[in-house]
């Protein structure tokens, strides 16, 4: 695995002006990747609106020059694998070879309200990835699976990147990590502790070896939530409530730290939090202990604090940091400017 460290951010679901502004700014100042949430429904106490990811990325391809453009992440319930391949191929061509296809097992918020069955998510995603790879690597595909059946199927034109654009898989369960090793060019888990990241990386690399692939060619990334500011107290103040809201939607993070979640009512991967639940979600978050946030992988602080934490992840193998800054979109540029202090440190030091 190369020592070069990459840095990206995930931007907002909406509005378009904010998405365009922050992406073109990140492109101008030299960030490596921009990740667009692929959601039908955003999450928030007041705003739940989300623009369609692939349309936005295609428009961004016309307004940027260097930054890689990624979905963070797409699922294979709303999109047939062939449709995903066509979307990503199109983005790769429009961007002159800057597409990344991010894939995950899906979330209830994008499925349940629309009557889309959410069954066998890992098994379905494994089979979808197999189909995606076949469509990218072969001219014509015959496939007989449990979920997908293809007969002389093809998607042309092929992407510009060879052999194809990188495919990143999100996930930190044993099966999803083995899926990374079998199919993916990048691993994108979210909010893992240092120890869990180290353990997960070994699972990914061992899976790659078991499948006859070179584990050193898999980009080890990490998706993280946080707030960066000029002083730590300000960052802490800004981060605490958004972090509590987030942790209530991911109670498994709380459990992994050895705490008992106060409720599972707001878990958002396999369940659904409707806008009508927002007030109760907000009130529950305010009651969550500050200690849980401080012990969590969610990061807040100054650029120096970020450097210290990132170096810990670097030492256990992370080479691509993707930040979702938990601030209003109007404050994103300020965060990115401070984030560049972290980026420049790593680029000068490693």
Catalytic residue among 39, 164, 222, 320: 39
Task: Give 183's contacts (C-beta < 8 A, 6+ positions apart).
Answer: 126, 129, 130, 133, 167, 169
Closest CA to 219 of 30, 10, 2, 73: 2
* Structure token digits, residue 327: 């601030």
Under DSSP, the state recorded for 317 is T
Across the chain, mean pLDDT equals 95
More confident: 240 or 279: 240
39 is catalytic: yes
156 is catalytic: no
6-231+298-349 to CATH, choices 3.10.129.10, 1.10.10.10, 3.20.20.30, 3.40.50.1010: 3.20.20.30
Helix (H) or strand (E) holding 22: helix 16-29
**What is the pTM (predicted TM-score) of this model?**
0.95
Burial class (CB in 10 A: 0-12, 13-18, 19+), 273: buried
Catalytic residue among 107, 127, 164, 222: 107
Q: What is the pLDDT of residue 17?
A: 98
Burial class (CB in 10 A: 0-12, 13-18, 19+), 31: buried
Angle between helices 194-210 and 174-183 (to 10 degrees): 50
Please give the Cα distance from 337 to 306 (Å, whole number). Answer: 13
Q: What is the DSSP string of 219-282?
A: EEEEEEEEEE-SSHHHHHHHHHHHHHHHHHH-HHHHHHTTPPPS-STT--SSS---GGGHHHHH
- Residues of the chain above pLDDT 70, percent: 99
- For 316-335, the pLDDT digits (tens) are 999 999 999 999 999 999 99
Contact 274, 234 (CB under 8 A): no
Lowest mean pLDDT across 150-154, 212-216, 261-265? 261-265
* Domain locations along the chain: 6-231+298-349
Task: Give 83's contacts (C-beta < 8 A, 6+ positions apart).
Answer: none
Task: Give 243's contacts (C-beta < 8 A, 6+ positions apart).
Answer: 225, 293, 296, 298, 300, 326
| Backbone phi and psi for residue 265, each to the nearest 5 degrees, phi listed first | -65, -20
* Mean predicted confidence (pLDDT) in 183-203: 97
Banded model confidence at residue 2, pLDDT cuts 50, 70, 90: low
């Amino acid at each position: 695995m190369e020592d070069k460290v990459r840095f990206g951010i995930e931007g907002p679901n909406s509005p378009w002006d904010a998405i365009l502004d922050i992406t073109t700014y990140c492109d101008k100042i030299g960030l490596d990747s921009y990740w667009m949430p692929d959601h039908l429904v955003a999450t928030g106490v007041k705003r739940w609106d989300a623009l369609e990811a692939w349309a936005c990325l295609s428009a961004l391809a016309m307004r940027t020059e260097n930054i890689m453009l990624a979905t963070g992440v797409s699922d294979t319930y709303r999109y047939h694998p062939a449709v995903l391949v066509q979307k990503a191929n199109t983005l790769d061509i429009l961007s002159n070879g800057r597409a990344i296809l991010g894939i995950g097992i899906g979330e209830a918020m994008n499925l349940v309200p629309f009557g889309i069955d959410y069954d066998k998510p890992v098994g379905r995603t494994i089979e979808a990835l197999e189909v995606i790879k076949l469509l990218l690597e072969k001219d014509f595909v015959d496939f007989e699976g449990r979920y997908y059946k293809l007969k002389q199927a093809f998607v042309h034109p092929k992407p510009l990147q060879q052999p194809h654009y990188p495919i990143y898989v999100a996930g930190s369960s044993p099966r999803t990590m083995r899926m990374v090793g079998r199919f993916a060019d990048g691993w994108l888990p979210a909010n893992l502790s240092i120890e869990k990241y180290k353990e997960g990386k070994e699972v990914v690399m061992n899976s790659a070896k078991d499948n006859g692939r070179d584990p050193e060619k898999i980009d080890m990334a990490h998706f993280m939530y946080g707030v960066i500011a000029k002083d730590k107290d300000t960052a802490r103040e800004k981060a605490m409530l958004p972090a509590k809201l987030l942790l209530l939607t991911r109670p498994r993070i709380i459990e992994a730290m050895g705490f008992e979640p106060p409720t599972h009512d707001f878990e958002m991967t396999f369940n659904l939090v409707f806008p009508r639940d927002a007030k109760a979600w907000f009130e529950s978050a305010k009651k969550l202990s500050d200690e849980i946030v401080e012990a969590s992988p969610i990061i807040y602080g100054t650029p120096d604090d970020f450097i210290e934490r990132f170096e810990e992840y670097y030492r256990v193998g992370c080479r691509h940091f993707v930040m979702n800054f938990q601030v209003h979109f109007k404050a994103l540029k300020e965060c990115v400017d401070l984030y560049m202090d972290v980026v420049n440190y790593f680029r000068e030091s490693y």
